[in-house]
Structure 1
Amino acid sequence: MSAISLGNLDISYGDTKVVHGVSLDISEGESFALVGESGSGKSTILRAIAGLAPDWTGEIAVLGKARSHGVDRDVARQVQMVFQDPYGSLHPRKTIDAVLSEPLDINGIGSRGERVEAMLNAVGLDQRFRFRFPHQLSGGQRQRVAIARALMLEPKVLLLDEPTSALDVSVQAEILNLLKRLRREQGLTYLLVTHNLPVVSFLCDRLAVMRQGRIVEVADVALLKSGRLVEPYSRELLEATAGRDASLADTPS
């Protein structure tokens, strides 16, 4: 079954159309990347799937269920998003316990303490972090909390919007290893937005190259690793990022 299906998706901000006729089919359990320059529409697609970009036409389906515009609680239980900024996405005046408990409270889910403890363990944070505030954590620790929060409702799909770009390279490697392990252990599907092709090589199975709101190529990651992307723009993108953060491509899992 498809985890995410997009059909002829157009997305606009006011009178400006930023995504044009995007169609994609992402399988359950797959890790798929959207890559391209800033402003190519990558993050806008994630926001539409998550219900944060209401002005769209076409089709969006998650795990076989068509999503409506705006807030869709059924979809929200299955799809969660991890944002780029691990500090800005966490409430500065709420403890980590409160941040992780909030999705459970909203959805009327019990066993709050047990679930919070289990999720902190799952993302590699011990219990001494539970009652700290975001400013008392490092960037990597905050991003682990953001990932934990996204997983509190046991979703099947994670939308990852540049989840490591605000972190130091050494910390990026830790978060990528965490994401790879969580995908394996929990059978997750990832849709990742990034401009960093070594990250795609390490974490993903397939990728779509976007330019000016359109998909110009869909390819297996094997073609990326071997430098055999077909479209001229895709090859330009690969050449422009050659050697940048290359160590991430060889990060041990």
Structure 2
Amino acid sequence: MSALTLKNLDISYGDTKVVHGVNLDVPEGESFALVGESGSGKSTILRAIAGLAPEWTGEISVLGKPRTHGVDRNVSRQVQMVFQDPYGSLHPRKTIDSALSEPLAIHGIGNRGERVEAVLKQVGLDQRFRFRFPHQLSGGQRQRVAIARALMLEPKVLLLDEPTSALDVSVQAEILNLLKRLRREQNLTFLMVTHNLPVVSFLCDRLAVMRHGRIVEIADVAQLKQGDLKEPYSRELLAATAA
């Protein structure tokens, strides 16, 4: 089954259309990347899937079921998003325990203490972090908490918006290895936005190259590693990374 299907997806902010006619199918268990220059519409697609970009037309399906506009509680149980800035995405005055418990409270899920402890362990944080505040954690630890929060509802799909770009290079590898392990252990589907083609090579199976709100090429990661991208713009991105 497809985890995510987009058909003729147009997304606008007011009178400005930023995504044009995107068609995409991501099977369950796949890790798929959206790459391209800033402003090409990559993150906007994630936001539409998550219900954070209300002005869209076309079709968005999650695990075979069409999603409606705005917040959809059923979709929230299946799809969660990890944002670029781990500090900005966590409330500075709420403890880690409170941040992780909130999704459970919203969806009326019990055993919150046990679930918080279990998910912290999954992302490699011991229990001493549970009652700390975000400013008491390093950037890498905050991103582990952001990933833990995304996992609280046991989703099938994670939307990853540049999940390592705000981190030091040494910490980036730790988070990428964590994501790779979680995907394997929990059979997660990833849709990831990144500028970093080596990250795509490490974590993803396929990629779509976007330019000016349109997909210009879809390729296997094997083609990326071999430098066998077809479109001139795709080759430009690859050359810029290698430079």
Which whole-Å CA distance do the structure 1 matches of 2:169 and 2:209 have between them? 24
Task: Write the deviation string for residues 152-206 of structure 1: whole angstroms up to 9, x where unpaired.
Answer: 0000000000000000001000000000000000000000000100000000000
Which whole-Å CA distance do the structure 1 matches of 2:170 and 2:69 have between them? 39
TM-superposed deviation, 1:22: 0.1
* Paired AA for residue 56 in structure 2: W
* Paired AA for residue 219 in structure 2: A
Which whole-Å CA distance do the structure 2 matches of 1:98 and 1:66 have between them? 32
Which whole-Å CA distance do the structure 1 matches of 2:43 and 2:209 have between them? 13
TM-score normalised by structure 2 residue count:
1.00
The reply to whether residue 227 of structure 1 matches residue 227 of structure 2 is yes
* Paired AA for residue 232 in structure 2: P
Which whole-Å CA distance do the structure 2 matches of 1:127 and 1:18 have between them? 43
Question: What is the aligned-residue RMSD (CA, Å)?
Answer: 0.5
TM-superposed deviation, 1:242: 1.0
Paired residue for 2:140? 140
TM-score normalised by structure 1 residue count:
0.96
* Paired AA for residue 39 in structure 2: G
Identity %: 87
Q: After superposition, where does 1:1-253 map in structure 2 within 5 Å?
A: 1-242=1-242
Q: Which runs of 5+ in 2 are unaligned?
A: none
> What SS is found at the alignment partner of 2:18?
strand
Which whole-Å CA distance do the structure 1 matches of 2:15 and 2:237 have between them? 29
* Paired AA for residue 217 in structure 2: E
Which whole-Å CA distance do the structure 2 matches of 1:139 and 1:29 have between them? 28
Aligned residues: 243
Structure 1 residue runs of 4 or more that deviate by more than 3 Å after TM superposition: none
TM-superposed deviation, 1:213: 0.2
Which whole-Å CA distance do the structure 2 matches of 1:41 and 1:240 have between them? 20
